[in-house]
Structure 1
Amino acid sequence: MDCGIITSKSVLLLLSVIFWAAGCGLAYVGAYVIKSYNNFEHFMEDKYTLIPAVIIIGAAVVLFIIGTIGCCSTLRESTLGLSFFMIVILLIFAAEVAAFVFGFIYRGKINGSLERSMNDTFSKYDGKNSESRAVDFLQSQLHCCGVRNYTDWFATPWYSSNNSTVPQSCCKSNATGCTGRIDQPALLNTEGCETKLEKLFQDVLSYAMLVVLGFAIVKLFGMLSICVITCRSRRNDYQPLYA
């Protein structure tokens, strides 16, 4: 039996397993991006930032399906099945390229809308509403205070109506006796949240883009293996995987 066809089939079976694993990986990445967005959605005006994540999750679902199709088609050496497998892989490859491009585009747009939406959200802080919960979560998680720095609170209604104090979410995690008074700067996180939040989103999108690029390369190997098997099958009689 032709060693080349056996190798190609084995590689394609391995790639089918990789597609299943890739589906799990892409689903995790997409869910992580959406979770990161939901945690800080009050500070993001442009919901189109979620487009790469939605595309990634959609691609993950299809990967599970095509992994099964690829495995069955390879074992049966079905020309029709492998052709369909090839078309689907090509579509997934195009979707991943689109996700990569969208991620690259919106990665550069984060900075423009972030400051405006953060200023608007911080100005609505009253300690009780949903914006307040979002701000407290942001400041406690990122260990920051204010948009650019803690002095941004001086121009907010909260500061003037609460004895010239900042929210206690500005307090350092290990600080004791912190009440948000500005005459206790050693107890406060003085660095602004905008830079840290922007870096967080940049890192998340960069991570997602690298993962998508890696899986796109896997698709190229998959398409190459299908071409090898299909071309060999047309020149030879049906060959089972194991003779």
Structure 2
Amino acid sequence: MGRSGKGSAICTIKYLFLIFNVIIWVLGCGVFAVGIWMQANRDSFSVVLPTYSFLTAASLVIIAGTITLVIGFVGCCGAIAENKCMMVVYFIFVLIIFGLEVAATALILSYQNDIKTAIKEEMLYSLEYSSDSSVHSQKREGIVRLIDTIQTDLQCCGVNNYTDWYGVGDQSKQVRSSCCVDPFPGCEKSQSFLWRPKGCMEEIEYLFSKNMHYIGIAGLCVAVVQILMMAACIMLFCNMRDRSKY
């Protein structure tokens, strides 16, 4: 390939790299804004894992938005200014995130049974948490709404089954009204045959297994894009170094 052909190819890569990172930056701004909105309305977005209360939906969205925003910004500035330092920082950021994704995937696959057990224990605790009078009322109401939404949408009751609700708070043998197959006033205190028999953990596992191929495809696409961006970053960096010799 001649010098003009090489220059044209590098120019194309540069603009594709720039366009992609502008999209990433805009996406990061949008995700960050959604996270701030969720944080401002945090009573409606509680957690299912009370022990790890810092892992709220709002905080995770804010962190993801911030990281995405910073990466997109550094990539845009590095490409426009043709700044080697920024390109190195961009490459390191993407490489670290890629490495963390690979490590997280390996850990999840290696310890999936332990993770499943820990999540189940946390979900059982969340039932107690939702009825704990010592917890702030807004947090309690938030997690109650979340549990009701999960039980209604997944058509399940409790974590293992409806007996998980027995003895929660001041309740005896009763459940949440969201457990009822056909809700009516007082159905949560009636007979168990009127309640959904399946636990939510089973339904969540089924939901993940049913959509596992979509999750896998999405993860593979993200990995391919990250590798392409790192390759483009290296090519642009090397071109900057070659040009500096003249």
Measured against the shorter chain, the TM-score band is 0.5 to 0.7
Q: CA deviation at 1:118?
A: 2.0
Unpaired segments ≥5 residues, structure 1:
238-243
Q: CA deviation at 1:212?
A: 4.5
Q: CA deviation at 1:180?
A: 2.4
The question of 1:189 aligning with 2:203 is answered no
Cα offsets for 1:143-167 (capped at 9, x unmatched):
210110123223435541xxx4321
Q: CA deviation at 1:188?
A: 3.0
Which residue, 126, 148, 160 being the options, matches 2:160?
Answer: 148
Which residue, 118, 124, 130 being the options, matches 1:119?
Answer: 124
- How far apart are the structure 1 equivalents of 2:51 and 2:184? 36
- How far apart are the structure 1 equivalents of 2:33 and 2:191? 42
Unpaired segments ≥5 residues, structure 2:
39-43
Q: CA deviation at 1:15?
A: 0.9
Structure 1 residues 113 and 49: alpha-carbon distance in aligned structure 2, compared to 1, 3 A threshold = farther
User: What CA RMSD, in Å, does the superposition of the two structures yield over aligned residues?
Assistant: 4.2
Larger Rg over CA atoms? 1
Structure 1 residues 195 and 96: alpha-carbon distance in aligned structure 2, compared to 1, 3 A threshold = same
TM-score under structure 2 normalisation? 0.67
State the one-letter code of the partner of 2:123. Answer: M
Q: How many pairs does the alignment contain? A: 221
Instruction: Report percent identity of matched pairs.
Output: 19
State the one-letter code of the partner of 1:19. Answer: N
- How far apart are the structure 1 equivalents of 2:203 and 2:35? 16
* Range moving further from structure 2, 210-219 or 121-130: 121-130
- How far apart are the structure 1 equivalents of 2:233 and 2:221? 19
- How far apart are the structure 1 equivalents of 2:33 and 2:189? 39
Structure 1 residues 43 and 141: alpha-carbon distance in aligned structure 2, compared to 1, 3 A threshold = farther
Query: Does 1 or 2 have the higher relative contact order (CA < 8 Å, sep 6+)?
Result: 1
- How far apart are the structure 1 equivalents of 2:192 and 2:99? 50
Is contact 1:26-1:57 (8 Å) kept? yes
SS at match of 1:41: coil
Which residue, 161, 176, 195 being the options, matches 1:167?
Answer: 176
Cα offsets for 1:162-212 (capped at 9, x unmatched):
xx432111124xx35471255362x432211123446678979x5785565
Which residue, 2, 6, 9 being the options, matches 2:8?
Answer: 6
